[in-house]
Structure 1
Amino acid sequence: MIRTMLRRALPAGALFLTLAVAACSGGGHSTGHSGAESTTSPSPGAVFNDADAAFAEHMSVHHQQAVVMSALAAERAADPRVKELAAKIEAAQAPEIATMAAWLVDWGRQPAPTADGHGDVSGHESMPGMMSAADMTKLAESTGKAFDNMFLTMMIAHHEGAVTMAQEQIANGANPSAKALATKIVADQQAEIATMKALL
């Protein structure tokens, strides 16, 4: 399901990259940077640190859940403003997943895990703002005004978690592009949080 939802939002080339990275196997070797293992050697001249790699992996997973949540709104939301906002979130975050997947390849790091059909990724439940499997099931089973309220409440918490993660990247990362994306995430999602609170 996650791949079906990503397919709708990603350009063909970016989708191919995302799915190809998700299909990669592990068993890599050290890159010379402390921390996670790699699948290949980093590209020559690649500038990154462990904070950058963690940000790309974790924010990819975080975004995947947001894409799943947003895709549900197309059929289940009652308020057209909720549908519009969800479509905006999906359209913004799906390409960012592809961007971060490309960074992980460039840095010789493991690909980010792929969320299951409910937007769940084992081992990443403790990330700020991540919804539990029970939360995701409840959202998927709701419709109409109940869906709208649940979606907005959950997505506000989800966005607040993403802002926290992005701020950590801004403070600790070394890669200029990753820091720029983190800055964009903070600005975009803080604006969307304000919009969602107004809708509630």
Structure 2
Amino acid sequence: MRRTRTLTHRAALTAATVTAALVLAACGNDSSSDSGHTGGHGSASSSTSADATAGAHNAQDVSFAQGMIPHHQQAIEMAELAADRASSAGVKSLASRIEEAQGPEIRTIGGWLTSWGEHVPTSSDSTTESMPGMDHSAGSGMPGMKNGSDMDDLAKASGTDFDTMFLTMMIDHHEGAVAMAITEKGKGMYGPATSMADDIVTAQTAEIAEMNKLLGKS
């Protein structure tokens, strides 16, 4: 009888020990699960915050976008004249590349402004007396923008005269775009806009060097 009681007692102790171990394991799993769940929420929150920052924009971004569209439009207008007026293959090649690069940028920038609920400039908005895009004194226009008389003179030129006039005007035009892009890089908030500004600085600075070389100023 005593041996039976001893065995029964040992069995009860063993069962209690197993039960306790199972309870502790379950608690450990719950804790781990909760910890992982919290971490998941933390990651999602961080990701959402990063997305919000990447999509945020400020007044400088709007100003840059609304200024760069007409600036690009005029550069393309100038470049289009080179097809049947320029005598230099180098000028024609450069003009073609300007059209290819700046046309898509205009469409991209217009998409930003539309998504922001802002006005998208058209060619009819382009005046040199009052342009958005950067700080400048009244009446000075955006940097590098040409007035109607300049554009008329370019349209009337041909051959080597056109080449020289085109290159001189486009260098000034590019320098204006680079100045606007540098302002955007320093003050803008919208990631795609500051990234495009960086590309503009790089590409147009290289084209300025190319144009100076074509003018024999390298």
- The counterpart of 1:192, out of the listed 207, 211, 214, is 207
Query: 2:119 is matched with which residue?
Result: 110
Q: What is the correspondence of 1:142-181 to structure 2 with a 5 Å cutoff?
A: 142-181=157-196
Unpaired segments of 5 or more residues in structure 2?
Answer: 1-51, 132-139
Q: Which has the higher helix share?
A: 2
The alignment partner of 2:123 has SS state of coil
Assess, with a 3 A threshold, how the Cα gap between structure 1 residues 144 and 63 changes in structure 2: closer, same or farther: same
Q: Distance in 1 between matches of 2:124 and 2:99?
A: 15
Counterpart of 2:71 in structure 1: which amino acid?
A: H
**Shift of the alpha carbon at 1:120?**
5.2
Q: Distance in 2 between matches of 1:121 and 1:152?
A: 20
Q: Distance in 1 between matches of 2:156 and 2:124?
A: 19
Runs of 4+ in 1 over 4 A off after TM superposition: 119-122
The count of corresponding residues between Structure 1 and Structure 2 is: 155
- The counterpart of 2:130, out of the listed 100, 123, 127, is 123
Q: What is the correspondence of 1:24-103 to structure 2 with a 5 Å cutoff?
A: 46-103=55-112
Counterpart of 1:135 in structure 2: which amino acid?
A: D
**Shift of the alpha carbon at 1:113?**
3.2
Counterpart of 1:184 in structure 2: which amino acid?
A: D
Q: Distance in 1 between matches of 2:124 and 2:214?
A: 28
Superposition RMSD in Å: 1.7
Whether the 8 Å CA contact 1:163–1:189 is kept in 2: the answer is yes
Q: Distance in 2 between matches of 1:77 and 1:115?
A: 27
Counterpart of 2:57 in structure 1: which amino acid?
A: F
TM-score (ref. length: structure 2): 0.68
**Shift of the alpha carbon at 1:121?**
6.0
Deviations 1:47-80 (A, max 9, x none): 1000000101100110000000000000100001
Whether the 8 Å CA contact 1:128–1:162 is kept in 2: the answer is yes
**Shift of the alpha carbon at 1:156?**
0.1
TM-score (ref. length: structure 1): 0.74
Whether the 8 Å CA contact 1:159–1:189 is kept in 2: the answer is yes
- The counterpart of 2:198, out of the listed 183, 190, 195, is 183
Unpaired segments of 5 or more residues in structure 1?
Answer: 1-44
Counterpart of 2:93 in structure 1: which amino acid?
A: E
